[in-house]
A and B are shown apart, each in its own frame.
Chain A
Amino acid sequence: MSRDGAIEPVAAEECRSILHYLRGEKDVWKRDLLLADFANKVDALSPGLADAMRELAIRSCLPQQGPRPEIGKILREDTRAPKLVDVVITTVTPLEWRAARNVFAVDEDSLQVHNGRLYYQLKLPCRAAQRDLEVVITSIMRPLNVRATKALSEIRHYFQGRIYFLLGIAAGRQGRVELGDVVIPEEVLYYPPGRRRPEGTEPRNPHKEVPEAVQRLVNYYEPEQTGFYDCLAAGIRGFATGDLPDGLDDSHRPSILANNVVLASGEELIQDGLLSDLFKTEERVAAGDEEGFGFAEGVGDSPWAIFRGISDYGVDPKPNNWQYVAVYAAGLALRDYIENDFDVPGSETF
């Protein structure tokens, strides 16, 4: 705003205009004045938009390689407000992605692509909310916690969920869970950090706790009452042969574990019995993965929960043919939970 408040320039339009001229200008004095003009106006913008504009201004100082992208297009991508939806579900591996698409019966017409990432939008009826919920399904696409955090940051740029779910498979601690079971952890334990000493490593393990309101609702979830197992049986009957473990049939009744369950999350695929070692320091450890902690970090202050199907015990050899049925069961449990016992964060019952 100018000094007397009489003049109120539309700062975003002004900044886009200045960027337009900055991009084509090489003369140092002209650039100096253009940048002064830009700097004066950009502070009036929202932080996200201002950052995107500043990045373009910085890029204008660099040698241009290849065709020049359009400022308007870049800013549309970079600065659009995220779409508010009720639920964002993300998977990791291609197999998990395939299972999620089947469980949630996505409509291919609802497919959106943002920055190379695929998103499906669908509606799910929710008994508690007494309305259809807006649900988005996407994928982190690559394993490891740091990538999960980065991917969540990007996903949230396009879709702001009232709650975020991570859906996939995990290794289970033998003796606590069975293959095909579904775990819904209360906490995620990030087990790699520690202080290395000659005598050994002293753990410094951060935890991420699922918000209490989410835990409470999960605890109320009773799959026996909702028809979950009937749905699972029907689903299994439709599986391709390669997706079924030997000897498994539609009588499969996995347990869904939500009480005293901790997910151990690290940066390595567990195949050496590590979960049994972790049990010695945290008796609630029931499963292990490579993305849970990064996911919980990546959602920021938003509510979140993790649904993992147990596909192996974290020891050699891995029974690979349990993966699809495990994630399918976890996905079906998530869908069943959303439809029957979940309520939208922010509502009276949440």
Chain B
Amino acid sequence: MSAPADVHAFWVLLGRAASQPVTDARKELYRWLGKQLRPGREVELRGSGESKSLTFEEVRTDAGSAARLLREDTQPAADAVVIIDLSQTAYDLLREPFLLHVGQAAMEFADRPERTVILVLPGNAPASGSLLWLALEGGEAGPSGSLLVLDRTGAVESRGAETKLPAHFARNFGTRASRLDASVQDRFESKLLRRLGHFDLGALNRKAGKDLCSHHFFDASACIEELAVLLDRQLSGAISKGGRPKWMLVSCGSRSGWTREAAMLAADLAGIDHGEWPRRPTKNPPKEFVGRNLALLFDVVRSGDSARLALEAARRWQDVQVKLAYSAVGPNRAVRDLPGGLKLQPMAKRSLERVPRDRCPQCELELPFSDPEPGQEQGPLRAFDLWSMLLDVDWLPEDYGPRNAERFKSSPDFESVFKRYGDFLAYRYELLLNDLDDNELVVASPDEPAVGELMRRLSVRFDDRIVWIGIPREPVLECVREDGAESNVKALLTKHAEETWARQLSNVRERKEAVVMIDEFNGSGTTAQSMANLLKGAHVDVRGFLPVVDRRPSVDLGAIPIHPLYEIPRPRR
């Protein structure tokens, strides 16, 4: 039986100040690639199991840094399959000098006759004039091994020795690679923001003679591309290629700029025109609508009243046909009785609360209306919102926490809070973090289930550009000592040197980047103090401590500022 083939994979991530563990699904893809190129052999995955991460600053100032990162690992076996995976970084962030150096590194790896190098790019392959191709030209003879360049769809360019690929290799790779990412629908739904507040819907529905409020307000400005892709799929399925010149996608809902942007992008993708619904009712249709079939895009449709008004108006217009109606967000139940028998197709369905003003609890409490424009929230969470979240989940006895400290007998199940309201909390964290750090974001926290869920939501909000250093509780607790003696931490880091979190801290320290500490709540300050001691001992700069709920606001972390989303002075005893 032949020896296992080595698969040496480099997962290159840009915009990160520390490495990240390679996910199991990605490792599986790498193994699959190995088996395709070494048929009949078992494969063994080599490498550190972590990403090769670079900050944008490093890419900008030292394009060769990536190649050095690749070369610093142990050399792959002579017949190894070497994978350089750039697929996770948006193509426009891969600068040409960077591609040149990566291409040169790939050529060096391919300089063994038995070796196969695979370079995986994001999206479609770069244009023919790209420095990447220049690097891959090599000398007159080209590489002695074989070199394949794949894009995410599986399209293949090859260099050097001929590689015999199995049937349907490209298609199968494209399918498997696409499984690594959440579907567009999932991405759209997870990035769709449901802000909490007190929103005046009356101003939006006055034409319908209603004064309504809502505790929620939806915002898709962070997922315009996903919305556009979903719309394009709908439009492409509904409109024949030949009929497209007659069609126009019209954005309705002028209050949200994202509706317009998404409609413009979707129209561009679908190859049809884009228009905007008139702001005021008009007797005659806008000139650009005349003779057209219209597909309308509404932002949020709750009862369908606003859609009905628009469609009624359109029915009175001469020579305009509204044939399709979409909404970014729609109610869980079907919107009935739309004029012309139209069906509204929502891209995401949600429970859409709206309350007549005379029954609105926030109106009764005389709470002011929230600004529907995102990014306006200042300061801590509103008490109404915080408590609506905390009281919406079970309260459980605290099952982990500092040693020798009383556990809370009943505390909100923050994991459920983050599952239900993580989009909103991530958005509020974004507002806080934007003030602290505008480059690579590294977050350190105890590696616990609740905060892990919060980090997942933060990662979605930050388009995966966030590095989470989840430190297991044991090492955190070992740093409880108030003095945070450096020698103790040094010994601790040495003891755990092979663990991911310790290597990530090492990355951050070497790059002189800073981290922020996040936790679900600060109960006594012990964990926060321990984390601060650990990070200080690891010579990592801490920009701030950002608990969701600070139950001991008096805790002193020295120079580390504390910015909680909410304060309730009720510490652990």
Contacts and interface: CB of A to CB of B under 8 A. Distances in A.
Interface of A: 2-4, 6-9, 13-18, 20-21, 25, 27, 29-30, 32-34, 36-37, 40-41, 70-73, 75-76
Nearest to A40: B569
Interface of B: 361, 363-368, 378-380, 382-384, 387-388, 390-391, 395, 409-411, 553-554, 561-564, 567-570
A21 B387 contact: yes
A16 B367 contact: yes
A70 B364 contact: yes
A13 B367 contact: yes
B553 A18 contact: no
Contact of A3 (B378, B410, B562): B562
A76 B363 CA distance: 13
Contacts of B411: 29
Max chain A C-beta neighbours (<10 A), residue from B382, B391, B410, B568:
B568
Contact of A20 (B380, B384, B410, B562): B384
Query: 5 closest Cβ contacts across the A-B interface?
Result: A29-B410, A17-B384, A36-B570, A7-B379, A17-B383
B561 A71 contact: no
What's the dominant secondary structure at chain A's contact region? helix
Nearest to B388: A21
B365 A32 contact: no
A16 B387 CA distance: 12
A73 B367 CA distance: 13
A9 B363 CA distance: 18
Given A7-B380, A17-B383, A29-B395, A2 B553 contact: yes
A29 B409 contact: yes
7 contacts: A2-B553, A3-B553, A9-B380, A16-B366, A29-B409, A29-B411, A30-B395
A13 B562 contact: no
A14 B390 CA distance: 15
A172 B384 CA distance: 61
A17 B568 contact: no
Nearest to B555: A3
Contacts of B563: 4, 6
A41 B570 CA distance: 13
Contact of B387 (A18, A41, A70, A72): A18
Contacts of A13: 365-368, 382-384
A15 B366 CA distance: 12
A205 B42 CA distance: 109
Contacts of B568: 33, 36-37, 40
A288 to B, nearest CB: 48
Contact of B567 (A15, A18, A30, A40): A40
B568 to A, nearest CB: 5
Contacts of A16: 365-367
Contacts of A34: 387
Nearest to A36: B570
A29 B384 CA distance: 18
A13 B363 CA distance: 11
Contacts of A18: 383, 387
A91 to B, nearest CB: 35
A19 to B, nearest CB: 8
Nearest to A13: B367
B520 to A, nearest CB: 14
Contacts of A73: 364
Contacts of B378: 7
A232 B391 CA distance: 69
B365 A17 contact: yes
A30 B365 contact: no
Contact of B391 (A30, A32, A72): A30
A2 B380 contact: yes
B91 to A, nearest CB: 39
A37 B562 contact: no
A30 B396 CA distance: 11
Given A8-B379, A13-B384, 20 more contacts: A2-B564, A4-B563, A7-B380, A9-B380, A15-B383, A16-B365, A17-B367, A17-B387, A21-B387, A27-B410, A29-B395, A29-B410, A36-B568, A36-B570, A37-B383, A37-B570, A40-B567, A40-B568, A71-B365, A72-B363
A8 B382 CA distance: 11
Nearest to A76: B366
Given A27-B395, A30-B410, A36-B570, A71 B379 contact: no
Nearest to B366: A72
Given A3-B562, A29-B395, A36 B382 contact: no
Max chain B C-beta neighbours (<10 A), residue from A13, A27, A32, A71:
A13
Contact of A33 (B380, B388, B570): B570
Contacts of B361: 20
Nearest to B553: A3
Nearest to A2: B567
B391 A4 contact: no
A276 B203 CA distance: 73
A300 B395 CA distance: 50
Contact of B365 (A6, A7, A20): A20
A34 B388 CA distance: 12
A6 B387 contact: no
B529 to A, nearest CB: 16
A45 to B, nearest CB: 14
Given A13-B365, A72-B366, A32 B570 contact: yes
A81 to B, nearest CB: 15
Contacts of B380: 2, 7, 9
Contacts of A25: 391
Nearest to B409: A29
B395 A72 contact: no
Contact of B379 (A9, A30, A76): A9
A72 B562 contact: no
B408 to A, nearest CB: 8
Given A6-B379, A27-B395, A30-B395, A72 B570 contact: no
B567 to A, nearest CB: 6
Contacts of A30: 390-391, 395, 410
B26 to A, nearest CB: 40
Contacts of B384: 13, 17, 20
B384 to A, nearest CB: 4
Contacts of B387: 17-18, 21, 34, 37
A30 B394 CA distance: 11
A40 B569 CA distance: 7
Contacts of B553: 2-3
Max chain B C-beta neighbours (<10 A), residue from A2, A16, A17:
A17
A24 to B, nearest CB: 9
Max chain A C-beta neighbours (<10 A), residue from B382, B383, B391, B562:
B383
A180 B398 CA distance: 79
Max chain A C-beta neighbours (<10 A), residue from B368, B379, B569:
B379
Contacts of A3: 553-554, 562
B52 to A, nearest CB: 38
Contact of A4 (B364, B388, B409, B561): B561
A8 B567 CA distance: 12
A141 B554 CA distance: 53
A43 to B, nearest CB: 11
A72 B364 contact: yes
B569 A14 contact: no
A71 B362 CA distance: 10
Nearest to B363: A72
Nearest to A24: B391
Given A30-B391, A70-B364, A14 B567 contact: no
A27 B410 CA distance: 10
A16 B361 CA distance: 11
B355 to A, nearest CB: 14
A14 B379 contact: no
